[in-house]
Amino acid sequence: MRTLSASTLIPIVIETLIFSSLWLNILSISHFSLLIAHTLTAVITAYWLSRQWQQETLSKTISWFILFNFLFFIPVIGALILWMFSIRKYLRQATSEAEQVIEEQEKAKNDEEIHYFSAPKHHHNTRKKQTRDLLSTLDDDTYLKLLVATQHLPDKEAYTLLKEALSSPFESARLMAFSLKGKLEERLQNELQQKIKGLKQTKTKTNSAELHLSIAKDYIHLLDIGLLTESDETLLSKARNHCVKAIHLNKKSAYAFQALSKILKYQGRSKQAQRAQIKAVDLGLPLDRLYST
């Protein structure tokens, strides 16, 4: 009877070890293999009890009672472990998604604080109203000086400010804004066209890959600043095509995968964007450049 009692601890020990391994992530085991382990444990337990029944003097009722209990509870224990393992996997996934949402919210907040003059479709109406209220307090000379200063601002901020200035009450400011806005658009378009023409002159795969990536970034840049010569979908499609070509030419370019991640995110393909971002990090993209444009 002592031997039989001691043998009943075997399934419990096995179940505990399996559960501990899963919880501590020591083993990478599928549900199918785990079910097989539970089945084998139940079979071994039944065989052990039958052998003990033959070797020791036990009443038939007690032996069948012990055998029934363990054959019944082994699958129950296994089902509970599978359920806890599924819950653990769900919690991990939920935590990962929550962390990603927090990172995106923090990034959006930081971008909003850094770029006061963002593209019209990206900033809030309250911020836009504050900008217009501020511009409305300027006199003619100050307004003109501000417009001249846009030549030293990043393209995104300069373009938004120039578009706002087109509604200025001062005719001189409107004329200057129209002129500077046209020059900015012309410069960006010329730079893009020069790069596209340069594709025919590149001789090495490395240079061609870098040029395709630069063109893709230019299309993203046009979309970011709000200079929409074509629809959003068309710009994103062109940017993605050039980015994919850059990756085909240089599969180890971390910055190409980073750009592809941004394009996919704009297209609403969040899962593919995340995979591209992970690939960029694996290829050596510095973490401080992870969200850079």
Domains and CATH numbers, the chain: 2-114 (no CATH), 118-180 (no CATH), 202-293 (1.25.40.10)
218's tokens: 């230019």
Q: 17 or 280: which carries more pLDDT confidence? A: 280
CA distance 271 to 57: 64
**Least reliable range by pLDDT among 29-33, 50-54, 140-144, 241-245:** 29-33
| Contacts for 14 with CB less than 8 Å, ≥ 6 apart | 37, 41
- In the chain, % of residues over pLDDT 90: 0
Quote the mean pLDDT of the chain: 71
The pLDDT score that the predictor gives to residue 57 is 54
The answer for 119, left when phi > 0, alpha when psi is -120 to 50, beta otherwise, is beta
**Least reliable range by pLDDT among 38-47, 152-161, 204-213, 254-263:** 38-47
Mean pLDDT calculated for residue range 124-141: 59
The pLDDT score that the predictor gives to residue 122 is 43
3-state DSSP assignment of residue 267: coil
Q: Are residues 162 and 187 in contact, defined by beta-carbon separation less than 8 angstroms?
A: no
The pLDDT score that the predictor gives to residue 219 is 87
CA distance 83 to 73: 15
The top-scoring range by mean pLDDT among 29-38, 235-244, 280-289 is 235-244
The pLDDT score that the predictor gives to residue 250 is 86
The values of phi and psi at residue 251, to 5°, are -75, -5
Judge whether residue 75 has pLDDT over 50.
Answer: yes
Q: Cα angle vertex 96, ends 91, 101, to 5°?
A: 125
CA distance 45 to 10: 8
* Of residues 63, 87, 72, the one with CA closest to residue 3: 63
CA distance 234 to 241: 11
CA distance 137 to 142: 10
CA distance 288 to 1: 67
Judge whether residue 93 has pLDDT over 60.
Answer: yes
- In the chain, % of residues over pLDDT 70: 49
Q: Are residues 58 and 4 in contact, defined by beta-carbon separation less than 8 angstroms?
A: yes
Outline where DSSP puts E strands in 216-262. Answer: none
85's tokens: 């393992």
The pLDDT score that the predictor gives to residue 45 is 66
The pLDDT score that the predictor gives to residue 121 is 45
The pLDDT score that the predictor gives to residue 285 is 73
Q: Are residues 222 and 235 in contact, defined by beta-carbon separation less than 8 angstroms?
A: yes
